[in-house]
Amino acid sequence: MGPISAIPDLLREFGVAPDRLLSQFDLTERIFENPDNTIPFPIMGSLFMACVRATACLHFGLLTGQRSAASELGAAGFLVNNAPDVMTALNDLVSNFDLQDRGSTPFLEVSDKTSLLGYEIYHRGIAGSDQISDGAMAIGWNIMRALCGSEWLPLEVHFRHDLPEDVGVYQRFFQSPLRFNAARTALVFRSTWLTRKVRLADPLLRHHFLRHVSEMRRYSNEDFRDRAYRDLLLLIGANRCSLEQLSRHFSMHPRTLNRRLKEAGTSFRDLHNEARHATACQLLRDTMSSIEAIAVLLGYSGTSAFNRAFAHWEGVPPATWRKRARASC
């Protein structure tokens, strides 16, 4: 609940009684008092949509994220705040985010000049995914400012969803060029920031939370299939989705990866198709990207091949599915 703990106060500011709205989901305001309390990821998405309807605020998720920081992310957040440098902090965030959230994951991509700190939802068909992603970008922005100082600003901020009605609220918060209907949701910034030393980092606190995270890992029940599926989604978004790429991601030989997936009751082909299906639905529903562009992103040889695959999954071509999905929103 940590990253969304601001919801009750925000509702009150809009004149909405929190408990009345929360009761729709069998929740009370007390669950927000402990940041380590949990709710199912789909419930969080539906909760955001209910908040949007009750407040008539189409950027409610953005407002929620603006009031959150690394400290709301549990043990992973404390590792981030006490890392020796920004690169280590962001790697800690990516590596340990699953201890806080099993429905999404951040990712970090580094090149010589620019880097991306992004966010990917890997639950399929989540209501309010645009609200959740907006909140995540705001939290990411707050984390980078805390790590680097007030002089940090992204070069661009990318959003998968459509252009919002009120772009001004996004511009005022992020203070950077915005790109909507992008391939991925991410903050783009200069890679030189990654070498910046973290202000006020405490090595002793870091050591404590490293041990704490290790203990949490011992009791974590995420299976290998879930991890592989989550990482496949990230590789699809980066146009690097292959058995070899996933093998390198896990630092194992492709044959070993195939064996591990078989032991987990699946295969690379099955997981790849599942990840393609989920990503296709999200892009069709949440962006204005062309069918051709989505086909290329998902690694299909052409639009026809994508159309056939999508019709096999959903029973209708992607263009028809998109019209129905948008009509039901």
Same CATH topology for 2-195 and 224-327: the answer is no
- What's the CATH number for 2-195? 3.90.1520
- State the pairing for strand pair 156-158/178-179: parallel
Q: Which of 182, 186, 128 is nearest to 160 (CA)?
A: 182
User: Cα separation of 264 and 83, whole Å?
Assistant: 34
List the domain boundaries for the chain: 2-195, 224-327
Fold of 224-327: Arc Repressor Mutant, subunit A (1.10.10)
Strands 185-190 and 156-158, sheet pairing: antiparallel
Write down the pTM of the prediction. Answer: 0.73
Q: What CA–CA distance (Å, rounded) separates 180 from 326?
A: 17
Q: Tell me the C-alpha to C-alpha distance, in Å, between residue 299 and each of 18, 236, 284.
A: 44, 8, 16
Return d(Cα 239, Cα 299) in angstroms, integer. Answer: 7
Low-confidence ranges of the chain (pLDDT < 70): 124, 215-222, 237-240, 251, 329
As a whole number of angstroms, the distance between CA 111 and CA 98 comes to 25
Query: Could you give phi then psi for residue 229, rounded to 5 degrees?
Result: -65, -45
Measuring CA to CA, how many Å separate 270 from each of 64, 273, 277, 309?
A: 36, 5, 11, 13
